[in-house]
Amino acid sequence: MSIAALRETRILTGRSMRHVMRSPDTIITTAITPVAMMLLFTYVFGGALGTGAPGPYINYLLPGILVITIASGVAYTSYRLFLDLRDGLVQRLRAMPISRSSVLWSHVATSLAANFLSLALVLGVAVTMGFRSSTPVASWFAVFGLLCLVTLCLTWIAVLAGLGAKSVDGASAFSYPLIFLPFISSAFVPTAAMPGPVAGFAQHQPITAIADSLRALLSQDPVGSELWAALAWLAGITLLAWALAARIYRGKTTS
């Protein structure tokens, strides 16, 4: 990406972020569902769910909740992109001497910023509920980096949904499977506690590798091969979603 394209992306990102900050309820709404799940599973189901992990259940639960927070937040990316296409903003931008890619990348950058505000809110609630971690600063940077990659991956899936949606409801409905997927993973209980076929799927899907890696980093446990599996999943899905989104976007902006 050229310097000019980076500058245009920054300007368009500033526009999107102003819309987000004028409606802070979107960030709060994004955090409501994960916080409600965290409260429910910690105070209602937590005592009945045996994880075998040391420490309070909130320590085991939090990585999956953070992934659900991101999955909830990227729905707004799809929604905002759909509105820009429907309302003709993208077509108007075509008449200006700006890079086409800056439009998509501005939505991606906005998603990264908005989702980390939601993640900070959820993490703050988790701390008040008893979450504690003595992990060193380097591991926190690794957690931050992994959450960035998760957000980037799911955001490009959201961009795909926004480009292909036919209605406002369709633009955001894609996030429901993403929110549901952590339930069939190690996010809430170890996969060993699940029936055979379900355990097989849960053990080999990307959310398990991501949740296990985050949990290991936050608890100072050895990360092992789970981190490499998570990175491979995230890199592969991100590149595929980005390539498809770029191809669909070119088709829409040249027609």
Q: What is the mean pLDDT of residues 53-75?
A: 88
Q: pLDDT tens-digit profile of 68-104?
A: 999 998 988 898 888 888 877 777 766 666 777 788 8
Q: What integer pLDDT is reported at residue 29 of this predicted model?
A: 77
Cα distance between residue 163 and residue 252, in whole Å: 8
Q: pLDDT tens-digit profile of 105-128?
A: 888 999 999 899 899 999 999 999
Residue 201's pLDDT band (cuts 50, 70, 90): very high
Q: What is the mean pLDDT of residues 185-200?
A: 88
